Structure 1
């Protein structure tokens, strides 16, 4: 039999089966009745969706709705409709099948509604149009196979293509595709849960920044571990086999990833002892800035010039670090000033205190003070000390403002800031001295 005859036989069989399917399912009174029934269900869900939207804006916590929308990028009422449509269709179809023995229209509609819901959910989350198209093709393809009755044949065909035997586990094209789909779905759902809880924790006012970061880290580790074990179990891999090798793998990773492990543990130490947390102003070596993020391996610091500096967690645990925000946010600004011995020290002290009191950034409690630090070679050395509330608002800027104010006030009062002077005496051979 040549190829042409084989193709013609296949097309003829497909046509006969298609016509039989149309006659059995489409040209039937039950089909028309269930079509109108579905239209009623559709509009009922639309009405419920509108009611939920109105009730949600009044009775449901708006922070919860905002967090949910930011996580899955779908309004709450639309999410309800997307999830309830295939579920309602499936339940009604099962009820009709139980009493009538025929499903007809609902047997077609169930896989189609499930495919539509999957596509709508994934398209709202993945901005990449290519990923959305791939998911759409896969969902509609599986739905078409389910409706036409070729699902089992397609599964057997994929399982029969050169299976690879690894121990007691048989790897086929179908098992690979199934594993990818299951793992993608499980980790996608886990990521949504983690992101939702993360956003809820970040806006919570009941726990501090360190506790938030620590809770998010443990939550992410715990949920992804559970998701991995659950996905492996769904695929059919024996989890006990993995536990045998887990100790050896952990032992090997301990040697190969010492620095990463050290940074991870150091990050947990920083969070537990709360010595450094997001928002703190820290300084070490030549680095000064505000802590923006605490990650598993590093701490992100934003310097005064806007640069992002990544510091390994281990460095912050084992080295000397100044935390300007530890305990409280107040910090003292010290401004040394030298004046001539001819000036009125009490007048200058009063002038400097007035400058500090008139600055809106300077706190009244603790009150500003002026100290006489030393009697220098060419000047009397004073120091103005003033407290500010939050160094993250601009420590250098506030200090500069105070220094400019002192300079302008000294210029107006003709107060001299002396500079060091040295007298050189030259003595000649004949005993004469020149200055």
Structure 2
């Protein structure tokens, strides 16, 4: 089809639509059609007045339903926001039914169209609230509204011809707006189905305690890739797109990935390795360089780590593979902490060791099933140096704070038992014959 033929076909379709619109507007000038329009306006006004009366009472009643399930309350919130439309649909159908019983069907023709349109719009707006993604929800809603409106008005064939007449020719294939629209609709529907299956399956996998957290993440990611990939290719296949041409495209994409997206691919592969070898998993407490915190989630490109000060670090997966990572809770939750202190040479070291162990054991979070120990590690210039070792099993609660609490317990215990903690002292002696003077600033 040449461009002139396509333009002529578009012009013919637009002329046909313009003629239908002219006949429709002329029909509105007939008495019974004008009456029906007035009835629609009156029904809308009545529905608006009733909404002002009913909506506050329904809202008060909903606030008193505290024990309701979340899904039921959400459904009633959606319906509460559409009370005016619900009342309008109920009233307009009542009037249509009455008029079809007492007068000719042609005298309620417009009312029937309005009733069908508003009913379909109401159903679509309520049904699309189940779609979580706002962009996808808006696309499905407005697309469904457009298609239902054209169907009820009997303009689907004209719309299809208009969309099918606009397109481009690529080799032996012709890509039209109608084909693109079909592909888009199927793709959205397939992605909605894939998202639903992915969410449901992910909840099942997370609830299975026999699967480790890292394998749960791997299974969920693999399932998402399979479902969304299948949705994409099935949608293209259903609209008649030849998938053999994608082989060349995928090869070009592979070359681009090899040269321009090395870091991205490296992080993706590293993420799969981390999930397979289970060296880290959600909930583990790790330290990498100056970053210390617990893992929130394992992503395809990065690992989310939250520190004690509330900061969230996104560490690339490659850094966790190539760098030195300390996993405080890899095989178990037990963590040993060491603190150093010194006492004066005049204090009995046997008493110091016993008091230090007792002080640490009485501190909150220090484990009693793994007793603390205290050893002498050297004789310093002004003190006997000790190391105190104790165990905890909740590193997510912080390490600095527990060390501080043990130091404070040592301070109190040493004060009670007369044990001194030496500190460096300096003496300045003035030699005989020296003169002290003040320098002028």
Normalised by the length of structure 1, the TM-score is 0.70
Out of 228, 236, 242, the residue aligned to residue 240 of structure 2 is 236
Post-superposition Cα deviations, 1:228-266, rounded to whole Å, max 9, x if no partner, equal 111111232111221243233213322211111111111
Report the alpha carbon displacement of residue 13 of structure 1 after superposing the two structures with TM. Answer: 4.8
Aligned to 1:123: 129
Aligned to 2:314: 310
Asked if 1:166 corresponds to 2:170, the answer is: yes
Asked if 1:393 corresponds to 2:394, the answer is: no
Asked if 1:348 corresponds to 2:352, the answer is: yes
Provide closer, same or farther for how the CA distance between residues 278 and 10 of structure 1 changes in structure 2, counting only shifts above 3 A: closer
Given that 1:282 and 1:289 are in contact with CA atoms closer than 8 Å, whether structure 2 keeps it comes out as yes
Question: In the aligned structure 2, how far is the partner of 1:328 from the partner of 1:122?
Answer: 46
Aligned to 1:384: 388
Provide closer, same or farther for how the CA distance between residues 74 and 211 of structure 1 changes in structure 2, counting only shifts above 3 A: farther
Aligned to 2:214: 210
Question: In the aligned structure 1, how far is the partner of 2:137 from the partner of 2:265?
Answer: 37
Normalised by the length of structure 2, the TM-score is 0.69
Question: In the aligned structure 2, how far is the partner of 1:238 from the partner of 1:361?
Answer: 65
Provide closer, same or farther for how the CA distance between residues 315 and 325 of structure 1 changes in structure 2, counting only shifts above 3 A: same
Report the alpha carbon displacement of residue 208 of structure 1 after superposing the two structures with TM. Answer: 1.8
Q: How does 1:123-142 map to 2 (within 5 A)?
A: 123-126=129-132, 135-142=140-147
Gaps of 5+ in 1: 1-5, 23-64, 79-106, 429-435
| Residues paired across the two proteins, number | 348
Q: How does 1:233-272 map to 2 (within 5 A)?
A: 233-272=237-276
Report the alpha carbon displacement of residue 423 of structure 1 after superposing the two structures with TM. Answer: 8.0
Given that 1:169 and 1:237 are in contact with CA atoms closer than 8 Å, whether structure 2 keeps it comes out as no
Question: In the aligned structure 1, how far is the partner of 2:234 from the partner of 2:114?
Answer: 31
Question: In the aligned structure 2, how far is the partner of 1:354 from the partner of 1:312?
Answer: 44
Report the alpha carbon displacement of residue 376 of structure 1 after superposing the two structures with TM. Answer: 1.6
Provide closer, same or farther for how the CA distance between residues 332 and 187 of structure 1 changes in structure 2, counting only shifts above 3 A: same
Given that 1:119 and 1:139 are in contact with CA atoms closer than 8 Å, whether structure 2 keeps it comes out as no
Provide closer, same or farther for how the CA distance between residues 169 and 423 of structure 1 changes in structure 2, counting only shifts above 3 A: same
Given that 1:119 and 1:135 are in contact with CA atoms closer than 8 Å, whether structure 2 keeps it comes out as no
Gaps of 5+ in 2: 1-15, 33-68, 80-112, 433-441
Aligned to 2:204: 200
Provide closer, same or farther for how the CA distance between residues 117 and 236 of structure 1 changes in structure 2, counting only shifts above 3 A: farther
Asked if 1:326 corresponds to 2:326, the answer is: no
Provide closer, same or farther for how the CA distance between residues 16 and 300 of structure 1 changes in structure 2, counting only shifts above 3 A: same
Post-superposition Cα deviations, 1:173-228, rounded to whole Å, max 9, x if no partner, equal 22232222222222122122222322333343222211111111111111111111
Given that 1:277 and 1:291 are in contact with CA atoms closer than 8 Å, whether structure 2 keeps it comes out as yes
Aligned to 1:143: 148
Question: In the aligned structure 2, how far is the partner of 1:412 from the partner of 1:109?
Answer: 88
Aligned to 2:160: 155
Question: In the aligned structure 2, how far is the partner of 1:184 from the partner of 1:111?
Answer: 23
Report the alpha carbon displacement of residue 332 of structure 1 after superposing the two structures with TM. Answer: 0.5
Given that 1:74 and 1:124 are in contact with CA atoms closer than 8 Å, whether structure 2 keeps it comes out as no
